[in-house]
């Protein structure tokens, strides 16, 4: 709602200097998300251990006490960042499932979505923060989400073999190879670099589909 609209609503009454409650709630949530995104960027740049709440506050131009209005602790921020990244992955996989089609098309779509997510703030946290750095009381839940993503890739590989799209192979190993190659993108990707996530996904998907050997080097 614009300031003008607020004034119109309150015509005749003394205008309140506070925004309406629902607007304040939205502003608060936007600020909370800014805290989490900024924290994720710092974790990805210099590591979780080396990032302090002061660093996060400084980048947001606020004081540390202001941060505490939105988050409880650095550990809580970390959990929310990693959890957001994992939820994006789970939702992406679910969307490709709902879109239907051949298993191989779903698998390739998931690879593209996964590449996009590991090159974003929260997805990169999933890759760059080691399991050992996660607060122990949340480790099991986050591992459960990770394992669910692994199994989704494995099921898509299995279904792609069954429908005759993929050559017979160990679905677990192939799924690990896919998830590994894609996850590692989150380790080396630079947001300011020349490569877009979609260009990277194109190149990886092409190699996964056809291999890198010259055609004349292949067994017939």
**Binding region for a second copy (CB under 8 A):** 46-50, 104, 128-133, 164-167, 169-170, 173-174, 176-177, 179-185, 187-188, 195, 200, 203-204, 207-218
Q: Return the structure tokens found at 52.
A: 């302090």
Rounded Cα gap, residues 213 and 16, in angstroms: 70
CB of 91 to a second copy, least distance (A): 23
Nearer to a second copy, 22 or 49 (CB): 49
Q: How far is the CB of 170 from a second copy (least distance, A)?
A: 6
Which strand (E) or helix (H) includes residue 55? helix 53-59
Residue closer to a second copy, measured from CB, 19 or 181: 181
Token readout for 131 is: 């399991």
The CB-of-185 to a second copy minimum distance in angstroms stands at 7
Size of the chain in residues:
220
Nearest approach in angstroms of CB 128 to a second copy is 7
Q: Closest CB to a second copy among 62 and 177?
A: 177
Q: For residue 104, what is the enclosing H or E element?
A: helix 103-118
């Amino acid at each position: 709602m614009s300031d003008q609209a607020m004034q119109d609503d309150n015509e005749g009454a003394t205008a309140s200097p506070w925004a309406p409650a629902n607007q304040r709630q939205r502003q608060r949530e936007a600020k909370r998300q800014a805290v989490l995104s900024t924290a994720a960027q710092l974790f990805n740049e210099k590591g979780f251990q080396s990032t302090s709440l002061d660093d996060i506050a400084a980048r947001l131009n606020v004081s540390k006490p202001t941060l505490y209005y939105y988050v409880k602790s650095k550990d809580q921020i970390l959990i929310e960042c990693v959890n957001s990244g994992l939820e994006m992955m789970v939702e992406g996989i679910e969307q490709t499932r709902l879109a239907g089609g051949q298993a191989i098309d779903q698998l390739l779509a998931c690879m593209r979505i996964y590449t996009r997510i590991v090159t974003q703030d929260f997805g990169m946290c999933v890759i760059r923060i080691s399991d050992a750095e996660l607060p122990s009381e949340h480790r099991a839940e986050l591992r459960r989400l990770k394992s669910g993503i692994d199994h989704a890739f494995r099921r898509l590989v299995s279904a792609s073999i069954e429908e005759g799209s993929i050559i017979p192979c160990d679905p677990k190993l192939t799924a690990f190879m896919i998830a590994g190659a894609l996850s590692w993108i989150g380790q080396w990707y630079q947001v300011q670099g020349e490569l877009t996530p979609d260009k990277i996904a194109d190149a990886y998907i092409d190699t996964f589909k056809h291999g890198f050997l010259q055609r004349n080097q292949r067994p017939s």
